[in-house]
Structures are given as structure tokens and as C-alpha cells.
Amino acid sequence: MKHTPGPWMQAASNRHRIIGNFSGYSAEVCTVQRGQPGAQLSPEMGKANAILIAAAPLLLEALEAARRWGLAYANDEKKAALLQQIQAAIDAAKGE
């Protein structure tokens, strides 16, 4: 499964819109719920969710780099467990 290439960023005009770059054009990746004061999803949570989602391509890239490093250098049980956790996160991010 392919995602819109990164980097993603919050739109300047609406910080709850996440914008990516697709073939040289800006494209909306998603819109995050803003939240309501006093509601379960507060405005602060909505903002934090938007920041986290915008970072998703960078986080996936970092996990893939960590996995490559770990495969080259892992030699004990703790490292192997970390590699399994990294791989599970990569698979989840890719919908596998």
C-alpha cells in the first residue's frame, strides 16, 4: 500500500488540515477533528493529533532506518525483540 509521499505538514490556513506533496502539487492528506472545549476531544488534543499525523512519513522513515540498522547489528535477544516491535509498527503504518 502506498501513501502520499512526505513530507506532510499542517496547512498554514487551517492547522487541522494535513497537506502532502503529490507529483509536485499540494494535496490534502486528511483533516483532523478540531475538538470542542469541554468535550472528550479537546482543541488541544485535536492540535496534537494533527502534529502527530503530519509527522507520520518521517516517523515511518526513521523506523525503516532503525530496522535496517538493527538487522545489520542485532545479535542478542533484546535487540531482536526491539526489531520485532519496529517491524510491527512499520507493518501497521503500511497496512500490512
How would you write 45-56 as a 3-class SS string?
HHHHHHHHHHCH
Residue 96 confidence (pLDDT): 74
CB within 8 Å of 54: residues ≥ 6 apart: 8, 9, 10, 18
Please say whether the beta carbons of 71 and 83 come within 8 A.
Answer: yes
DSSP notation for 56-71 = HHHHHHHHHHHHHHHH
In angstroms, the first-to-last Cα distance of the chain is 8
pTM value is 0.74
Dihedral angle computed from the Cα positions of residues 53, 57, 59 and 62, in that order, rounded to the nearest 10 degrees: 180
Domain coordinates in residue numbering, the chain? 9-54, 58-94
| pLDDT tens digits for range 39-80 | 787 878 888 888 888 888 888 888 888 888 887 777 777 778
